Amino acid sequence: MKNNGSLSGVKEIARLANVSIATVDRVLHNRSGVSPKTKKKIEAIIKELDYRPNILASRLASGKVFHIAVLIPKRSERTDFWEAPLKGIERAQEEIRAYGVTVDIFQFDLQSKASFVGAVAAVKLKAYDGVLLAPAFLDEAESFLSYCKGKEIPFVFIDSNMENQPSLSYIGPPLFQSGFLGARLCDFRLGSARKLLLVHISKQPDTYGYAQIEKGFRAYFEGQSLPSDILRLVIDRTDEESVAISLKRALLQHPDVEAIFVTNSRVFLVAQCLEGLGKSGIHLVGYDFVLQNQEFLRSGVIDFLICHKPEEQGYKGIMNLYHHVSLKLPVDPVYYMPIDIVTKENQEFYR
């Protein structure tokens, strides 16, 4: 039996539970004044009848406007990765605008801690009902999240998680499994030396996300019968020249490296260097279908790209906040994106 949220549906629940309509209404809207035993009885009847109150209609009738803040990196000259989540956020924004929800977008420079702090300060100037956040600059992010918790503002993470924080949900890749897959893709081309180079190109290489990717990468080789030599290279300056200098030095010291795994979208910087050095025999695996990477994938310098549907992350993040703060609907605490593998052969058809 299905009901559409009409008064007759509430009457039927009240009749079956032998309680007043007002009592049923309190349970439906999660208000106090109902004993645990009665509440449990009413909830069981609601479940049995598959009752769905018309949440949206009552929500629109209230006339309340909800405000969501988005705090994400902006596109840079070095990578256009964050264009995709922004497209998803804007698509969700268009869908929910008519239902009394506003979305304000604050972007920061991934190379500038001050830029992130400034974006946080701007968010604090207005009372928001929810925040969508790509956690960067961990100390500053934790300070901002303490502010959110103090104000009881729910927050959702995209792209990378902070497991020590009580987020409403995390929407992004399963990072350990993603790193594990990266190792498997590298293993295809390993020869007798079985020497690999794991490269972090980031100002903050010790974040939870990078740690989980590296943990998954190493776990794959720990389970193999043949021993492998995994070298770790951290490049905390992300400009082209700094990456080239660090990589050339590493390859000079270890000329028998057979595969390189880059833990983020800056794999094109490594590809650029390998191409300049004429190192065509090194297997290269990295992340994200950004324009800079596509060129090197097409030419065969990059062998595999691992992708996690960043546009859908942005879209789902906004919709989760909308469902929670506006419609009072449950959301998944963790929503993993699929792990896609893009190659030279299928890149033309990948979206």
Q: What is the mean pLDDT of residues 301-307?
A: 97
Q: Are 292 and 299 in contact (CB under 8 A)?
A: no
Are 259 and 285 contacting, i.e. CB atoms less than 8 angstroms apart? yes
Q: Which has the higher per-residue pLDDT, 225 or 260?
A: 260
Question: What is the CATH number that goes with domain 7-53?
Answer: 1.10.260.40
As a whole-number percent, the residues of the chain with pLDDT over 90 amount to: 66
Percentage of residues of the chain with pLDDT beyond 70: 93
* 172: exposed, middle or buried (Cβ count in 10 Å: 0-12, 13-18, 19+): buried
pLDDT for the residue numbered 15: 79
Lowest mean pLDDT among 34-48, 129-143, 300-314: 34-48
| Lowest pLDDT segment from 113-122, 193-202, 258-267, 327-336 | 327-336
For domain 175-307, the CATH architecture is 3-Layer(aba) Sandwich (3.40)
Q: What pTM was estimated for this model as a whole?
A: 0.79
The confidence score (pLDDT) of residue 238 equals: 86
Alpha-helical runs (H) found in 224-300? 240-253, 267-277, 291-299
pLDDT at 303: 97
Could you report the per-residue pLDDT of 157-176, keeping only the tens digit for each?
999 898 889 999 999 999 99
Please name which of 295, 313, 315, 314 lies closest in space to residue 305, comparing C-alpha atoms: 295
List the domain boundaries for the chain.
7-53, 61-172+310-337, 175-307
pLDDT given for residue 3 in this prediction: 44
What's the pLDDT score for residue 2?
A: 43
Supply the mean pLDDT for the chain.
Answer: 90
Residue 49 is predicted with a pLDDT of 66
pLDDT band at residue 309 under the 50/70/90 scheme: very high
Q: Return the minimum-mean-pLDDT range out of 76-85, 170-179, 211-220, 327-336.
A: 76-85
Looking at residue 78, what is its pLDDT?
67
* Angle (nearest 5°) at CA 64 between 60 and 66: 105
Highest mean pLDDT (candidates 10-19, 33-42, 145-154): 145-154
**Topology agreement, domain 7-53 and domain 61-172+310-337:** no
What is the pLDDT, as a whole number, of residue 163? 85
pLDDT digits 0-9 by tens, 22-48: 898 888 877 788 999 999 998 888 777
Question: What is the structure's pLDDT at 287?
Answer: 96
Task: Say yes or no to pLDDT of 1 above 50.
Answer: no
Does the pLDDT of residue 201 top 50, yes or no? yes
Q: In CATH, what class is 61-172+310-337? A: alpha beta
Helix (H, G, I), strand (E, B) or coil at 81: coil
Q: At which residue do the structure tokens 């794959």 appear? A: 220
70 vs 49, more confident: 70
- What is the C-alpha to C-alpha distance for residues 58 and 43, in angstroms, rounded to an integer? 20
Give the pLDDT score at 60. Answer: 66
Contacts of 16 (CB under 8 A, 6+ apart): 45
Q: What is the per-residue pLDDT for 268?
A: 96
Burial 63-91 (b: 16+ CB within 10 A, else e): eeebebbbbbbeeeebbebbebbbebbbe
- Least confident span in 38-52, 183-197, 279-293, 334-348: 38-52
Q: Is the pLDDT of residue 137 over 90?
A: no
